[in-house]
Amino acid sequence: MGKIRPGPDPKAALVSEICSLSRSPISCIHINRNSAPCFIDWYLILGIQEDAEVKLIRKRYHKLALKVHPDKNNHPKADIAFKLIHEAYLCLSDETKRRCFNIDRRKNNCLKCSRSVSHKTKENRTDTKPNRFFQTLRDISDKFREENKVIERCLKTNTGIVPGNRTDETPVFGIPNRLNKESPVFNPSDYKFCGYPHVRNRVFDNNLSDWRMFMRSRSTCV
């Protein structure tokens, strides 16, 4: 029986990957960089996004450091990989250094080549400010819709429990019954007393004409 060969060591593979990323120049057919030095992308070394928070950068650095530290990794280039992730952490954890690095990174990156990568990254991100804003609007709309349903159910329940099964033809104290109607909820015309307001009659008109004649004669005398 043949011996089972052990698989590749994950820690050794990680060291090889970090070293290969540091040697890979950011170049393409759109930009000629024959004279430019090799640019190391610290975001690729740590495996994080450009907008990652310092807390995430520190967490990622500690995780990688435990795997590639020369005392815990037997790979011959473990020392180089550890120095690379340490330099990446020192640069990205400092606000001033990170701002300068982002400027250099945008100068060295090709927009045409990185457009598809950035597009996929934006699609996977669901916690952006516009998405949060529209999600808040949807939550508010759903809340109002639910409250509207509750009010409608309450109105229907109240109209269904009216004692005596009164109808529109059964007035209460001279006021037509509108309790079993959903809308309008309040109608002032239902609460007017019978016969009010009175229509002006001839007596009122005669008194008004006499008052006008009195005022006219008084002004003439003055």
Residue ranges per structural domain of the chain: 10-114, 150-221
pLDDT for 216 equals 72
Give the confidence band of 174 by pLDDT, cuts at 50, 70, 90.
low
pLDDT for 110 equals 59
Is the separation of the CB atoms in 58 and 93 below 8 Å?
yes
Residues 6+ apart with CB under 8 A from 141: none
* Cis preceding-peptide flag for 184 (omega within 30 of 0): yes
For the cut 80, the answer to whether the pLDDT of residue 81 exceeds it is yes
Top mean pLDDT of 30-34, 72-76, 141-145, 161-165 is at 72-76
Cα angle 119-94-36, degrees, rounded to a multiple of 5: 60
Strand, helix or coil at 131? helix
* Overall pTM surpassing 0.75 (yes/no): no
According to DSSP, the residues that pair with 172 across neighbouring strands are: 175
Give the confidence band of 146 by pLDDT, cuts at 50, 70, 90.
confident
pLDDT for 40 equals 85
Lowest mean pLDDT among 1-15, 33-47, 78-92, 117-131: 117-131
* Cis preceding-peptide flag for 163 (omega within 30 of 0): no
Pick the closest to residue 68 from 20, 22, 12 (CA basis).
Answer: 12
CATH superfamily ID and name for 10-114: DnaJ domain (1.10.287.110)
As a whole number of angstroms, the distance between CA 49 and CA 166 comes to 70
Give the confidence band of 89 by pLDDT, cuts at 50, 70, 90.
very high
Is the separation of the CB atoms in 16 and 24 below 8 Å?
no
Give the confidence band of 35 by pLDDT, cuts at 50, 70, 90.
very low
As a whole number of angstroms, the distance between CA 51 and CA 6 comes to 39
Give the confidence band of 27 by pLDDT, cuts at 50, 70, 90.
very low
For the cut 60, the answer to whether the pLDDT of residue 142 exceeds it is yes
Is the separation of the CB atoms in 92 and 104 below 8 Å?
no
